[in-house]
């Protein structure tokens, strides 16, 4: 890789300085944080709840587990994990974006979820946790926004316990051409307008649509996880491959 390639990265379809991407992504999520949950329901017609339920079911969570919900945003997965791990367990809701973290904290506290949940502002590329700390790490709809995904995967691998597992829930590549075309039309013609009407920010939702197209496809992400050290790596396509759940273990 040339020096120029190392110094630049993508922000949606734009090429930007690598050092600038984190700030630009932060601006997007500061803007959309308060309407994030509403927009998730509207954008996915509520199906995101089923995708997240599938992730919880696939995690193998047990009472007493220690779990890191990375890029956990408004806390949907944390809320479920908190109940399933019980008082002897621990769930950390971590997000690089303070606005998203604050919305998540307020939401979970309003739901009465306290005691076994901590909140940490953290960068996935350099997690501030000890080696071998977690039984499970999840990152749902967050990996595509990370500047250096390979570095983040290695950081996650480090903090997992031996026998621990990573689950990556993320938008991916639809399996069928007709679905892909319909998805493109929706993403680039409907989604930004919806963002403008509801969140008063069409540009951020334009970026989110573009960031999905720039994210590695199913097989590429699987290979990246294996390069980071994960074993028995698999993925399961959801909604025709619009979303995929990747899973890998640390042994």
For the annotated binding site for S-adenosyl-L-methionine, the residues are: 74, 95, 123-124
Q: CA–CA separation, 145 vs 65, rounded Å?
A: 27
Q: Which of 133, 134, 155 is closest to 143 using CA atoms?
A: 155
- For the range 233-236, what are the long-range contacts, defined as Cβ-Cβ under 8 Å and sequence gap of 24 or more? 235/172, 236/54, 236/58
Q: Tell me the backbone φ, ψ of residue 166, rounded to 5 degrees.
A: -110, 135
| Largest pairwise CA distance in the chain | 51
DSSP secondary structure letter of residue 33: G
DSSP secondary structure letter of residue 68: E
Binding residues: 74, 95, 123-124
- Decide if 131 contacts 158 (C-beta within 8 A): yes
- Decide if 59 contacts 136 (C-beta within 8 A): yes
Give kind and range of the element (H or E) at residue 92: strand 90-95
Q: Tell me the backbone φ, ψ of residue 60, rounded to 5 degrees.
A: 70, 25
Task: Provide the total of helices (H) and of strands (E) in the chain, helices listed first.
Answer: 11, 9
């Amino acid at each position: 890789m040339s020096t120029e390639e190392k110094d630049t990265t993508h922000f949606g379809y734009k090429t930007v300085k690598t050092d600038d991407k984190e700030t630009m992504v932060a601006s997007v999520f500061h803007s959309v944080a308060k309407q994030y949950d509403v927009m998730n329901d509207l954008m996915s017609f509520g199906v995101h709840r089923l995708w997240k339920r599938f992730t919880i079911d696939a995690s193998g969570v047990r009472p007493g587990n220690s779990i890191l919900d990375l890029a956990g945003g408004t806390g949907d997965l944390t809320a479920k994990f908190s109940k399933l791990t019980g008082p002897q367990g621990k769930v950390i809701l971590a997000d690089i974006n303070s606005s998203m973290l604050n919305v998540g904290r307020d939401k979970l506290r309003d739901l009465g979820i306290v005691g076994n949940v901590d909140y940490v502002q953290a960068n996935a590329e350099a997690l501030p946790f000890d080696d071998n700390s977690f039984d499970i790490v999840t990152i749902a709809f967050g990996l595509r926004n990370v500047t250096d995904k390979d570095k983040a995967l290695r950081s996650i691998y480090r903090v997992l316990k031996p026998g621990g597992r990573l689950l990556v829930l993320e938008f991916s590549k639809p399996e069928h051409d007709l679905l892909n075309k319909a998805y493109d039309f929706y993403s680039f013609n409907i989604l930004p307008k919806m963002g403008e009407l509801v969140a008063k920010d069409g540009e951020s939702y334009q970026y989110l649509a573009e960031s999905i197209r720039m994210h590695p496809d199913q097989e590429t992400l699987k290979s990246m996880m294996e390069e980071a050290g994960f074993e028995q790596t698999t993925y399961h396509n959801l909604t025709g491959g619009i979303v995929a759940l990747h899973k890998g273990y640390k042994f």
